[in-house]
Structure 1
Amino acid sequence: MKQTPLTQGITLVRMMVHAGHSLGVTRIAEELEMPKSSVHRLLASLQDLGFVQKIEATKRYTLSADIFDFVHEIAWHFGRNLRLDDQLRAAAAKLDCSVYINMLGRRDTYVVCAAGGEGNTTRLGSHGRAYASSGGKVLVAQLPEKEWARYAPHNDEVPATRYTSRDPEKFFARLREARQTGFAWNRRETSKDHVSVAAVVREPFIDPPRLAVALLMRHEVFAVRDQAELENELLKLAGELERELGSR
């Protein structure tokens, strides 16, 4: 990927998130393979944006609390634009499980809205490979088959759990099933403790679809639930959400 000030800034913010402590200019320059003069300019820009703050006593840099204003703005306005919060909360209470809205990225699926016991704020933005995600499978299934290979597992990827399959042909088979049934399952493939089932939620004027709704529960809870009932309730919920989005 070609490096630009924007990509370098994002890389630096991610570095600070993962570091968990303040960083000095020398360390940043080494990690980013940039001259110190360029690092100083990059840090100044990030300070102007309110993403980074300088600790004057140590001359080191760390994330600023003001960055959460930006994070909140994205999460709040995107969720508000979807305006599905009430429906998700009601569904989570009715079905006694967590309900997620997932979005398909380049190879991962991301949680963009959530409700229920497993739907706390730390889930927003959480993501995993599409091939191991119920939402990812059902969304990839909507794409032309020639694009499926881009989302297929690679042999060199570390599986998230011992239940995660890295067999591309098995992945393609699951996609064909999802096309026929309208839903896809994730049986402990992303987390050994959880099971989920997802269906596509279509928005007006957006094709192929980018959103899926998923019902998620712990494995021990799923063991005593009726699978067919969950599938039917999921498809009903997806239809309700589509009608809500289409009525605006």
Structure 2
Amino acid sequence: MLDPNGDSRGTVARVVALMRALAEAGRDIGVSELAKRLDLPVSTVHRLLKLLIEQGMAEKTRDKRRYRAGLELFRVGALVANQRHRRELIEPVLQRVGEQCGELSFYCLYLPALQKVMAVSRVDGPSPAPYPCPLFEPMSLMWGATGRAILAFLPEQEIAELISKGEPSPATGAPLPPARKLEAELAQIRDRGYAITYGQKVEDAVGLAAPVFAEGCSPVSSLCVTVPRQRFQWKMEPKIAKVLIREAAKLSERFGCSGAQGSQRRGGQAA
């Protein structure tokens, strides 16, 4: 059992253990189960959850019966992970993509518990993008190339669940296309190995993204390039797509998804 004393050290230990339990659960979890895992009284877990909620480290589900890791916990975790791996792994990839494509490139993590994506690293092109591209802010998985490059490779049941929520476009407020049409678009992304969207998250932007897979070849992130609409030309698409697919495949291998497996997931487009 965790230190039952009421001093500050005991409280800190319990709070840390609770944050760890929320992060490791990977799903919404009830107070009783948390209390059992931590070997703490339910009343203590309630009190600690209230403290975490106040700081954005935890949040309640809509039915108020379960809890999950909060946005701030995800943001802080992403900051730490990004600082550790950015220079040695992600930044060189983004530098290569930026040099070859000449536009803003960035790397987005998939946040499964939130069903969102979040940009955690970027490299600007020679000409600045005329729109904001913030880091560490959760974004839609349903709209934009950054999200759809990942969405297309999620399990069918999860895709269906996300489509049923009917999330509107963050840029225009437009509704999702009919399920059958969206499923066809996702199938096309799987076949060619990348996503391309026009003004779905930012009205004046064209986005291209390729998925990055980890061990087990599940999608964990996306490698992206965004081009201002006024600068985009059709002939740019195949060049940018080829660079993104190649660099995403290299990252996937580093993360434990072999070249052959990754190529199969991307419809054989890893070359």
* Whole-Å separation in 1 of the counterparts to 2:243 and 2:77: 35
* Whole-Å separation in 2 of the counterparts to 1:6 and 1:139: 34
Aligned residue number for residue 155 of structure 2: 144
* Whole-Å separation in 1 of the counterparts to 2:91 and 2:242: 21
1:172 aligns with 2:183: yes
Aligned residue number for residue 131 of structure 1: 142
Aligned residue number for residue 196 of structure 2: 185
Aligned residue number for residue 169 of structure 2: 159
* Whole-Å separation in 1 of the counterparts to 2:216 and 2:168: 33
1:8 aligns with 2:50: yes
* Whole-Å separation in 2 of the counterparts to 1:103 and 1:70: 11
1:113 counterpart letter in structure 2: S
Aligned residue number for residue 23 of structure 1: none
Aligned residue number for residue 69 of structure 2: none
Contact 1:163 1:189 in 2 (8 A): no
Aligned residue number for residue 112 of structure 1: 120
* Whole-Å separation in 2 of the counterparts to 1:126 and 1:110: 6
Query: Which secondary structure does the structure 1 equivalent of 2:50 belong to?
Result: helix
The match for 1:87 among 83, 93, 101 is: 93
The match for 2:84 among 55, 77, 80 is: 77
Q: How does 1:34-45 map to 2 (within 5 A)?
A: none
Quote how far apart the aligned CAs of 1:243 are: 4.7
Query: Which secondary structure does the structure 2 equivalent of 1:126 belong to?
Result: coil
Q: CA RMSD in A?
A: 3.5
Aligned residue number for residue 109 of structure 2: 103
Distance change (3 Å), C-alpha of 1:69 and 1:143: closer
The match for 1:230 among 216, 224, 240 is: 240
Quote how far apart the aligned CAs of 1:199 are: 0.8
TM-score by length of 1: 0.63
* Whole-Å separation in 1 of the counterparts to 2:232 and 2:173: 16
Contact 2:107 2:120 in 1 (8 A): yes
Quote how far apart the aligned CAs of 1:206 are: 4.4
Aligned residue number for residue 195 of structure 1: 206
2:109 counterpart letter in structure 1: M
Distance change (3 Å), C-alpha of 1:142 and 1:189: same
Distance change (3 Å), C-alpha of 1:109 and 1:83: same
Query: Which secondary structure does the structure 2 equivalent of 1:216 belong to?
Result: strand
Contact 2:216 2:256 in 1 (8 A): no
1:213 counterpart letter in structure 2: L
- Name stretches of at least 5 consecutive residues in structure 1 with no aligned partner: 16-50, 52-67
Deviation string 1:40-91 (CA, Å, 9 cap, x unpaired) is xxxxxxxxxxx9xxxxxxxxxxxxxxxx9988545412535x7221221232
* Whole-Å separation in 1 of the counterparts to 2:244 and 2:251: 11
Query: Which secondary structure does the structure 2 equivalent of 1:102 belong to?
Result: strand
Contact 1:193 1:218 in 2 (8 A): yes
* Whole-Å separation in 2 of the counterparts to 1:181 and 1:69: 34
Deviation string 1:156-202 (CA, Å, 9 cap, x unpaired) is x4431238441233322221111111111221101102111111122
Query: Which secondary structure does the structure 1 equivalent of 2:203 belong to?
Result: coil
Query: Which secondary structure does the structure 1 equivalent of 2:153 belong to?
Result: coil
Quote how far apart the aligned CAs of 1:242 are: 3.4
1:77 counterpart letter in structure 2: R
Distance change (3 Å), C-alpha of 1:73 and 1:190: same
- Name stretches of at least 5 consecutive residues in structure 2 with no aligned partner: 1-27, 32-45, 58-71, 258-271
State, as a whole percentage, how many aligned pairs show the same letter: 16
